[in-house]
């Protein structure tokens, strides 16, 4: 479903579409009147009044899924917001942001801007999503992120500067910039590969240090032990990046794939010279092992979305088109 085609119900009961705010920058927030974070209404209203003339609209969606902290009905919510915090930005009817009854709006927001390790669930009241003038979800801010702290991000989106690719454009902007969301299967595969690299790096540096010497080609103009140690350090760094740098997973995926390609000559050297290591004491076993390296390359590219980024056609503006380039992914 197109973002602007999503139906929402106002606080007074009318049904409208998000297309009512086409061309606006939207800050969409799930709210509650009985939460410790409820005073954020004041900051949200301040943002709305500061930036409304420049094209920002704040949209508040009450939700009672977090410790029952929104017990009021729509009429009570409206009275509370106006009397306590002088809220003038649009408020809407209560909805679900998680579970089987998740409203289509929040299904779209969560898929477009997942949290850590691809988790989509809204963690608490006052999670904030920033949507640009084209309907792309460009940022997700956690509940404890004060409204005043995100004014810089709003400025950037209003001025068309949300994508941090700088002077880089076209396909490289989509690769070097933040990544579009992927499925849980991709996430699991990426984290698993990160674990494999962390383990391999640790063994490079410790118990299998001598074994890995067999894979250093004789023609490498460096001390073989130094190459093994350096490879171990790189594997640890890449493995940690796969696990923790989800915002830059495309760039990390490309780096991991390049690393696997760079060390492939070591596997070839082991086969060509008949060197036994890792239990590979026959030419057939060493030959079969050669085909495992391309699998690792493809694993790195697929699990991080780098393969998709390589195949994605850039838009005229130099930005990859999928639903919402995730510019500032902050965990809710």
- Phi first, then psi, for residue 180 (nearest 5°) are -70, 155
Residue 274 burial (CB count, 10 A): 11
Q: Is 211 helix (H, G, I), strand (E, B) or coil?
A: helix
33 located within any domain: yes
Active site residue 63: no
For residue 121, what are the domain limits?
Answer: 3-165+323-329
310 located within any domain: no
Residues 6 or more apart whose CB falls under 8 angstroms from that of 267 comprise 215, 286, 289, 290, 293
User: Sheet of 56-62: strands edge to edge?
Assistant: 56-62, 25-31, 128-131, 137-141, 328-329
- The per-residue DSSP string of 255-299 comes to HHHHHHHHTHHHHHHHHHTT--BTTB-SHHHHHHHHTHHHHHHHH
What residues pair up with 328 in beta bridges, in sequence order? 139
Q: Are residues 256 and 295 in the same domain?
A: yes
In terms of pLDDT, which residue wins out, 287 or 322?
A: 287
Q: What is the pLDDT of residue 248?
A: 82
Q: Are residues 92 and 191 in the same domain?
A: no
Dist CA 242 CA 191 (whole Å): 6
Q: How confident is the model at residue 246 (pLDDT cuts 50, 70, 90)?
A: confident
Catalytic residue among 35, 205, 213, 277: 35
Q: How confident is the model at residue 226 (pLDDT cuts 50, 70, 90)?
A: confident
How many folded domains does the chain comprise?
2
Helix 151-158 to helix 40-51 angle, to the nearest 10 degrees? 30
pLDDT tens figures, 271-303? 666 666 666 667 777 677 678 889 999 999 999
Q: Are residues 226 and 147 in the same domain?
A: no
313 located within any domain: no
Dist CA 235 CA 259 (whole Å): 9
């Amino acid at each position: 479903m197109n973002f602007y085609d999503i139906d929402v119900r106002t606080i007074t009961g009318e049904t409208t579409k998000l297309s009512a705010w086409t061309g606006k920058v939207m800050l969409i927030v799930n709210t509650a009147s009985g939460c410790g974070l409820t005073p954020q209404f004041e900051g949200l209203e301040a943002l709305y009044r500061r930036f409304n003339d420049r094209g920002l609209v704040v949209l508040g969606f009450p939700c009672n899924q977090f410790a029952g902290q929104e017990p009021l009905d729509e009429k009570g919510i409206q009275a509370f917001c106006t009397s306590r915090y002088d809220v003038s930005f649009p408020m809407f009817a209560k909805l679900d942001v998680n579970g089987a009854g998740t409203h289509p709006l929040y299904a779209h927001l969560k898929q477009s801007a997942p949290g850590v390790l691809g988790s989509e669930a809204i963690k608490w009241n006052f999670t904030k999503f920033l949507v640009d003038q084209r309907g792309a979800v460009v940022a997700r801010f956690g509940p404890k992120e004060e409204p005043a702290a995100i004014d810089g991000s709003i400025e950037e989106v209003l001025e068309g500067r949300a994508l941090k690719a700088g002077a880089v454009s076209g396909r490289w902007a989509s690769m070097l910039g933040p990544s579009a969301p992927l499925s849980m299967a991709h996430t699991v595969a990426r984290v698993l590969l990160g674990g494999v690299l962390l383990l391999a790096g640790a063994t490079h540096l410790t118990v299998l240090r001598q074994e890995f010497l067999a894979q250093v080609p004789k023609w490498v103009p460096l001390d073989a032990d130094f190459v093994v140690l350096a490879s171990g350090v790189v594997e640890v760094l890449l493995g940690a990046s796969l696990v923790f740098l989800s915002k830059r997973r495309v760039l990390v995926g490309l780096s991991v794939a390049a690393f696997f390609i760079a060390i492939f000559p070591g596997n070839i050297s082991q086969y060509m010279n008949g060197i036994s290591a890792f239990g590979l004491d026959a030419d057939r076993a060493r030959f079969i092992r050669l085909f495992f390296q391309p699998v690792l390359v493809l694993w790195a590219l697929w699990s991080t979305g780098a393969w998709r980024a390589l195949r994605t056609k850039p838009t005229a503006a130099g930005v990859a088109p999928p639903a919402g380039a995730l510019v500032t992914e902050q965990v809710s």
